[in-house]
Structure 1
Amino acid sequence: MTNPIWLVRAGRNGHQENAALENNLVAIGWEDLGDLSAIDDRETLIELYGETYIEDKARAISNMANQIWRFANEIKIGDYVVLPLKTEPVIAIGRVTGPYEFNTAIADEVRHIRRVEWLTTNMPRTRLDQDLLYSLGAYMTVCRIQRNDAETRIPQAMHRYVNGLDPVSTTQVSDIDVEEIVDLEAIGRDQIRILIEREFAGHRLQDLVAAVLKVEGFQPVVSPPGKDGGVDILAGKGVLGLEEPRICVQVKATASSAGIDVINSLLGVVAGYGATYGLVVSLGGFTKDARNKAKEQFFKVRLWDSDDLIDALLRVYDQLDEEIQAFIPLKRVWVTVPAEG
């Protein structure tokens, strides 16, 4: 018997993520509705929503109220919740441990909450197969994830990740329902992320980073495989690469998050080489301590997770060497953006 899995987002731009992870909870917005504990049927909630958000159309009122009802009443203790982070290319997965609460002590935008036990807060998105990532691409704030045997496969992927085991691909592409896919940008970025991990594994990721820096006007020198003395790429401006800014780059192609030790090591390398600043590229993202250290050293170090690398790649893609483009074939398209909800 599998437990239901629920997608619960933390705001359009991830503004509720820190509160959710630090306080062991998931939350939704719509604070103006007040405490919903006394509402015991869906129709009453729909009526309350319409009275509170009078500018919304009837279809939106029904859609939003139904999501709120699921959050407060249909999600049960013991169910899984999946939170795809906006601030990192990772997924948090937890188990619900408490009933619906209306709590005013945490944050102004974090009032409707469910308590959870986080089982992982940093699983890379690429640990899930593409069909499961499609399911996480909906614009809904709260919805149950069932398609493609998700209720079995997502916990399996999580357990393999937290136990340090390699992922096992079980993609069922034939079960993808294209009509349910609305966040095409997120899905496209996941596909690019998977391509980068596959085509630029290990030392080859340094070549991709160096190619991006070259288009940006740097003259990069990539260290050969093996011990690199704490620096994978040295790069400077100018014909000979001797002009400012001069940067030292550390590249981490692993799925694990880079920690504060990586930042401290790079800062030492930057000083030793007389560089202007350092850059750490980590496909697995960064720990909270690492990001805090980078913030303290704002004028000395920059961090690129996989999303930042994708941003840099897209910024210069048309100017990259044909060899790089052949490994990551992309085409620019324009799509409308539906309202979230």
Structure 2
Amino acid sequence: MMMARLWLIRLGKNGEFERRALEEGVLTIGFGIHGDISHLRDREALIAEMARIHPNDKPNRHKNFAAQINQFINVAQTGDLVVSPMKITGAVALGRIAGPYSPGPDGEATRPVEWIKPDVPRDAFRQDLLYSFGAFMTVCEISRNNALVRVEAVIKTGRDPGDGAAAKRPKNGSTNAEDETQEASDAPVNLDRIARDQIERRIASAFAGHDFTRLVGAILVAQGYRIRVSPPGADAGVDIVAGSGPLGLESPRVVVQLNLPMAKARGFWGWVCWN
């Protein structure tokens, strides 16, 4: 029996395939595919198809796209683990590929998925795995740093045990389009997402409990609002009331509710009402 592999699969540049993935259990990738490509059984055949679909693109782009599509429809096997960072929720979805490739309603490339944990908070993972999750690739394998075992541990315990090594930021270079299987840690990374992760971790460690409420209040003050921050304890669901004008009574007005602490979710949740 072959050992399962771990794949990073993004669901649209802007998360356009995420809702369907979560609601229907279907992984979808784009690349301009609008037809059955089940007869294209290797990367070379897919390079020719990419050249046909994208005639104005350069050959290296065709190779890069073909390598990712080949991994999705031919290399990844039923039972392999999937990591899908979600734009619509900010969480990470973990699942297993549940079947072979098939064309979707519009000919897009799809595979069924069985979600195991669809809403794991990003800070359940150590920084080196988050670097891999931030790769600028739609489909690639995550194999280094004992990634598979660690993701399986997150599924079982909710915590990443790490691999005992310090996290190293991947080089923000280009991937090798000649490789049959592309590795996430070799791909350029999303530095914006990595920076946001580090900022969130810093806020979580430095602004616990009511200190976080005061931080949000200070941000609103910096934006020109007059605010009233409720004292710690019972507040009837309202933590901050903010308004414009000298007395804070003019529109727009903001009512903020912050649900803290969120130890299980490992993140910040809140409601903002505009009036």
Task: Confirm or deny a common fold (TM above 0.5).
Answer: yes
Alpha-carbon distance in structure 1 between the residues aligned to 2:211 and 2:4? 40
Distance in 2 of aligned mates of 1:213 and 1:53: 47
1:123: which partner in 2? 120
Aligned residue-pair number: 256
CA drift of 1:175 comes to 5.0
CA RMSD of aligned residues (A): 2.4
1:3-14, aligned counterparts within 5 Å? 3-14=4-15
Name the TM-score, length of structure 1 as normaliser: 0.69
Please report how far the alpha carbon of residue 52 of structure 1 lies from its aligned counterpart in structure 2 after TM superposition.
2.3
Cα deviation for residue 222 of structure 1 reads 1.8
Measured against aligned partners, the alpha-carbon deviations of 1:28-87 in whole angstroms (never above 9, x if no partner) come to 113435211122232222122212211111111111101000000111111111111122
Relative to structure 1, is the Cα distance of residues 68 and 79 closer, same or farther in structure 2, using a 3 angstrom cutoff? same
Report the CA distance between 1:133 and its aligned residue: 0.5
Q: Deviations over 1:79-121 (max 9, x none)?
A: 11111112221111111111111121xxx4x721110111122
Distance 1:127-1:284 versus aligned 2 partners, 3 A rule: farther
CA contact (8 A) 1:77 1:97 kept: yes
AA aligned opposite 1:216 = Q
Shift of 1:192: 1.1
**Alpha-carbon deviation of 1:169?**
5.6
CA distance in 2, matches of 1:174, 1:52: 39
User: Which residue in the other structure is 2:243 paired with?
Assistant: 236
How far 1:203 sits from its partner (Å)? 2.1
3-state SS in 2 of match to 1:212: helix
| Equivalent AA in structure 2 for residue 96 of structure 1 | I
- CA distance in 1 between partners of 2:245 and 2:101 (Å): 60
**Equivalent pair of 1:124/1:284 in contact (CA under 8 Å):** no
**Corresponding position of 2:166:** 173
C-alpha distance in structure 1 between counterparts of 2:223 and 2:168, whole Å: 41
Q: Write the distance in 1 (CA, Å) between the matches of 2:259 and 2:47.
A: 49
User: SS of the counterpart of 1:12?
Assistant: coil
Match of 1:226 in 2: 233
* 2:26 aligned partner: 25
Gaps of 5+ in 1: 162-166, 258-281, 286-293, 295-299, 303-341
Q: Which residue of 1 aligns with 2:214?
A: 207
- Residues 13, 86 of structure 1: 8 Å contact kept: yes
Q: Specify every segment of 5 or more residues in structure 2 that has no aligned partner in the other structure, as ranges.
A: 173-185
SS for the counterpart of 1:131 is: helix
How far is 1:229 from its partner?
1.6
Pairing 1:131-170 to 2, within 5 Å after superposition: 131-161=128-158, 167=159, 170=162
The aligned counterpart of 2:57 is 56
Aligned to 2:179: none
- After superposition, give the CA deviation of every residue in 1:7-31 in whole Å (9 maximum; x if it has no partner): 1111111111111111101111134
1:1-341 equivalences in 2 (<5 Å): 3-32=4-33, 34-104=35-105, 108=106, 111-161=108-158, 167=159, 170=162, 172-179=165-172, 180=186, 181-253=188-260, 254=262, 283-284=268-269, 301=273
On the 8 A contact 1:255/1:283 being kept in 2, the answer is no
**Distance (Å, rounded) in 1 between the aligned partners of 2:244 and 2:167:** 49
Distance 1:82 1:174, change over 3 A: closer
Shift in Å, 1:151: 0.7
Secondary structure of 1:178 counterpart: coil
Aligned-partner SS, 1:32: coil
Contact 2:125 2:160 in 1 (8 A): no
Residue by residue over 1:291-326, the C-alpha shift from the partner in whole angstroms, topping out at 9 and shown as x without a partner, is xxx9xxxxx936xxxxxxxxxxxxxxxxxxxxxxxx
Q: Are the aligned partners of 1:94 and 1:116 in contact in 2 as well (CA < 8 Å)?
A: yes
What is the identity, as a one-letter code, of the residue corresponding to 1:37? Answer: S
Task: Name whichever of 29-38 and 57-66 sits farther off.
Answer: 29-38
Cα 1:232–1:71 change in 2 (3 A) is same
Normalized per residue, the structure richer in helix is 1
Q: Which moved more, 1:7-16 or 1:28-37?
A: 28-37
Q: Would the alpha carbon gap of residues 191 and 169 (structure 1) be closer, same or farther in structure 2, given more than 3 Å must change?
A: farther
